[in-house]
């Protein structure tokens, strides 16, 4: 479960009206040079790890040049050495939202070692595949719940659209 902390009540006002002395940030990225900028942190999440093998923390910043910076940390089982940090920059809130919605959590799930070994019996491999599928589904559900909270805090939404008429399978 993640708790979203809104650091600025009116995100857009905060984003366009940064203080006279913006804070300096240096965000470390896994395997890359850090991203450095001046601005304000407008949102962050604090994760409460559960039984899942990984969870996500994120922070969103607004730079003094009006760009949005996303820091997305994949936390793997409490071992800091396995954490992966991504930092992405966006021109608009819509671009940032699109990135978050398109993010593929399944690529972050570790595959058990030795599973690709050809000597693993088919039944064992199938059991691992089912467990892996269930793990991915749980992580994706938690990520979607996190996004719902983040979008709500940021005021990102969409107009309701008509849904298809539900079908009961009776050829109606």
**Mean of all residue pLDDT scores within the chain:** 80
Per-residue pLDDT at 13: 41
CA distances from 47 to 10, 58, 98, 116, 128 (A): 23, 9, 22, 31, 27
Which token pair is 75?
């936390």
Highest mean pLDDT: which of 6-15, 35-44, 107-116, 130-139? Answer: 35-44
Q: How far apart are CA 133 and CA 115, in angstroms?
A: 14
Between β-strands 54-63 and 32-47, what pairing exists: parallel, antiparallel or unpaired? antiparallel
87, 69 Cβ separation under 8 angstroms: yes
Which token pair is 90?
């966006």
């Amino acid at each position: 479960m993640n708790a979203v902390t809104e650091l600025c009540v009116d995100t857009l006002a905060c984003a366009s009206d940064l203080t006279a002395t913006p804070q300096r940030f240096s965000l470390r990225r896994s395997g890359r040079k850090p991203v450095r900028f001046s601005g304000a942190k407008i949102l962050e999440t604090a994760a409460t790890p559960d039984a899942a093998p990984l969870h996500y923390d994120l922070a969103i910043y607004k730079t003094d040049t009006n760009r949005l910076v996303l820091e997305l940390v994949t936390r793997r089982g409490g071992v800091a050495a396995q954490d992966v940090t991504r930092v992405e920059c966006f021109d608009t809130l819509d671009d940032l939202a699109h990135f978050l919605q398109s993010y593929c959590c399944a690529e972050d799930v570790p595959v058990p070692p030795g599973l690709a070994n050809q000597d693993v019996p088919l039944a064992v491999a199938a059991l691992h595949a089912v467990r892996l599928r269930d793990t991915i589904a749980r992580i994706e559900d938690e990520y979607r719940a996190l996004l719902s909270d983040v979008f709500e805090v940021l005021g990102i939404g969409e107009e309701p659209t008509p849904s298809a008429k539900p079908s009961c399978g009776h050829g109606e």
